[in-house]
Copies of this chain bind each other. A is one copy, B any other.
Amino acid sequence: MRWNLSPQDLPTAWFNVVPHLPAPLEPPLHPGTKEPVGPEDLAPLFPMALIAQEVSTEPAVDIPGPVLDVLSLWRPTPLVRATRLEQALGTPARIYYKDESVSPAGSHKPNTAVPQAYFNKAEGVPRLTTETGAGQWGSALAFASSVFGLDCMVYMVRASFEQKPYRRMLMETWGARVAPSPVDDAAHPGSLGTAISDAVRDAAGREDSHYSLGSVLNHVLLHQTIIGLEAKQQLQLAGERLPDVVIGSCGGGSNLGGISLPFVPDEGVRLVAVEPASCPTLTAGRFEYDFGDTAGLTPLLPMYTLGHEFIPPPIHAGGLRYHGDSPIISALVKSGRMEAVAYPQSKVFEAGVQFARTQGSVPAPETAHAIRCVVDEALAAKEKGEERVILFNYSGHGLLDLSAYDDYLHDRLAD
């Protein structure tokens, strides 16, 4: 069962969680002076509109018309009840998901790529740079740049550039340029950290360029709240009460924030972050100021971190391989408003395959982390004989990640 909204029902303002946080966010610090950064520090990299959103404490931020026009190419996304999965589990729980896989890039990432491209365009910036790991974020920004006529330069982790050519091809089809990172060492496999450093250096060194980030920052999570806002409308349409639990996978925090932040003020609603056991930022990291990248070029952010030099093992959910976390998500976990759990990837792919064989769609490995937790919540509800309303974010499809399923099905997966 699915509940569609029409394009006229698209939310016209993003939800800002900042006024609802248990305590004010601590500010980002300048990497050199260790003083709080100001707008002038960020202006070489970001347009003023995004800098203002980054520090906004208004409860809502209007979505510009041209952004709504582009989002309506695929939004509102469907809310789906996973009745076949429920039946397979024999659970009394009702499982709903927001299907963010229907975007052109196949994930939730365009929700922020589109406004980021728009606000840069509106301030006269003709070129964007960014990093990408496996390619989800890079392809979203390539798409958004194509729509607004911007040049887009993507630095892609070299190991992925060489092993996963489809994402590179997708970015090029939308007109982006893609280079393997690090750019100055062809023998280095690269990491998200090196790619961020390459992209920031490029943008900082050119008058015509800004930098764009696909997760972690406040304005990114703000743009993603359109997911949870739509879900609230759709649950009402479905005749449903507030969910008992809202679940999302967490790398930097953008898909999790997108679905969960609008539920922060609803006190009875549990919020759950799901991360890989091999990169357990929220469940085993320390809350402290740390850099966003390996080279230490970014501001210091107050967040759960495994240390900016931590190199996660090469698990298949590339989008979850990040040493830190969004400051907003970190604050919610630190205060106890949000829970966090970690799973090894074999248990994750087991759930992903079960989803594919019941509901049809093959989830991205990142999304399969959320599904693992959903299955466990549904089985716990069965155990206790409880009705339980579960909402999760189907953040992306796995069609360009099938080699991960191949490894799982042929017993080549290491936890």
Contact = CB atoms under 8 A, between A and B. Distances in A.
B172 A409 contact: yes
Nearest to A6: B4
Nearest to A362: B173
Interface stretch (A45-53, A297-305, A398-406): A398-406
A166 interface: yes
Interface in A378-415: 399-400, 402-403, 405-406, 409
Contacts of A102: 102
Given A4-B6, A399-B400, A400-B399, A406 B360 contact: no
A1 interface: yes
Contacts of A357: 146-147, 174-175
Interface residues of A, number: 39
Given A4-B4, A147-B360, A170-B362, A406 B165 contact: yes
Contacts of A146: 356-357
Given A4-B4, A360-B147, A172 B406 contact: yes
B360 A74 contact: yes
Interface in A189-223: none
A240 to B, nearest CB: 16
Contact of A356 (B6, B74, B173): B173
B170 A399 contact: yes
A399 B106 contact: yes
Report whether over half of chain A's contact residues are helix, strand or loop; otherwise say mixed. Answer: helix
Interface string A322-334: 0000000000000
Given A166-B399, A166-B402, A362-B104, A2 B72 contact: yes
A220 to B, nearest CB: 20
Interface in A1-46: 1-2, 4, 6-7
A356 B1 contact: no
Given A4-B6, A72-B1, A400-B399, A169 B405 contact: yes
Contacts of A172: 405-406, 409
A73 interface: yes
A361 interface: yes
A28 B174 CA distance: 46
A353 interface: yes
Contacts of A165: 402-403, 406
A359 interface: yes
Given A73-B84, A102-B102, A169-B403, 20 more contacts: A2-B6, A2-B7, A4-B6, A73-B359, A73-B360, A74-B360, A106-B399, A146-B357, A165-B402, A165-B406, A166-B166, A166-B399, A166-B400, A169-B406, A170-B399, A173-B353, A173-B362, A173-B405, A175-B357, A399-B400
Interface of A: 1-2, 4, 6-7, 72-74, 84, 102-104, 106, 143, 146-147, 165-166, 169-170, 172-175, 353, 356-362, 399-400, 402-403, 405-406, 409
22 contacts: A2-B6, A2-B7, A2-B72, A73-B359, A84-B147, A102-B102, A104-B356, A104-B359, A104-B360, A143-B360, A146-B356, A165-B402, A166-B166, A169-B403, A169-B409, A170-B362, A172-B405, A173-B353, A173-B356, A174-B357, A399-B399, A399-B400
